[in-house]
Structure 1
């Protein structure tokens, strides 16, 4: 069931939790010289993920909204890539990386499930 607002969507909630974790657990560990580089990219990608879900939810038709859900999935993959870079540069520990990686993968799976759900509803209407 589609909720009253995008905030009710499990895929948005999962991406939002990930975004908060990144802000609280990751960004503060980066050196100042990364402020306008990796820090900015990671924040923008995590924000883009939730924003695209919200925008997709606000669209009228699934075919119109689907591209935003795909963009969100791409942003979540981008978050994972930036986290790999942070781990490789030793800005975050392997343990934190693995924990966040699991959250990213889970978030993508939830989003994929939502996309499948909407696709099946759209097929039923045809």
Structure 2
């Protein structure tokens, strides 16, 4: 699809995937121990939500290729950070391995989409 098919960041499949996965993480982290409230729980929630927030910001910065790519790079970093927190959650026994694999795999799809957008930024930017 061309960029003209999209009216907002919410129209992007990658945004929907990241948003739904962040909500899954939110639900899973409700069961984390109370002592993790200000550490692992907070970190994994923040990074997963940040993927979506940075993608929304990137969408609004499409007039400037460098700004657009910079925000997508931030999305990449947050998605990768979320994968690290998922691994910690498994090692600590807070998430079942099969659930973690599914979430980790979803973030690999998100990362693939982000890299594709970065590598083909001319298709997404408006201006310059």
CA contact (8 A) 1:45 1:79 kept: yes
Give SS of 1:57's match: helix
Q: State the match for 2:55 in structure 1.
A: 53
Q: 1:117 to 1:42 in 2, by over 3 A?
A: same
Q: State the match for 2:45 in structure 1.
A: 43
Segments of 5+ residues of structure 2 without an aligned counterpart are: none
Normalising by structure 1, we get a TM-score of: 0.89
Cα distance, 1:42 vs structure 2:
0.6
CA contact (8 A) 1:10 1:110 kept: no
Q: 1:6 to 1:43 in 2, by over 3 A?
A: same
Segments of 5+ residues of structure 1 without an aligned counterpart are: none
Q: Distance in 1 between matches of 2:42 and 2:111?
A: 22
Deviation digits for residues 57-78 of structure 1 (CA, Å, limit 9, x no counterpart): 1012222211000000100000
CA contact (8 A) 1:57 1:65 kept: yes
Q: Distance in 1 between matches of 2:122 and 2:80?
A: 21
Runs (4 or more) in structure 1 with deviation over 3 Å come to 119-122
Q: State the match for 1:72 in structure 2.
A: 75
User: Is 2:105 the counterpart of 1:102?
Assistant: yes
Normalising by structure 2, we get a TM-score of: 0.88
CA contact (8 A) 2:117 2:124 kept: no
Q: 1:118 to 1:29 in 2, by over 3 A?
A: same
Cα RMSD between the aligned structures?
1.8
Give SS of 2:95's match: coil
Q: Distance in 2 between matches of 1:10 and 1:47?
A: 16
Cα distance, 1:22 vs structure 2:
0.7
Q: State the match for 1:81 in structure 2.
A: 84
Count of paired positions: 123
Q: State the match for 2:22 in structure 1.
A: 19
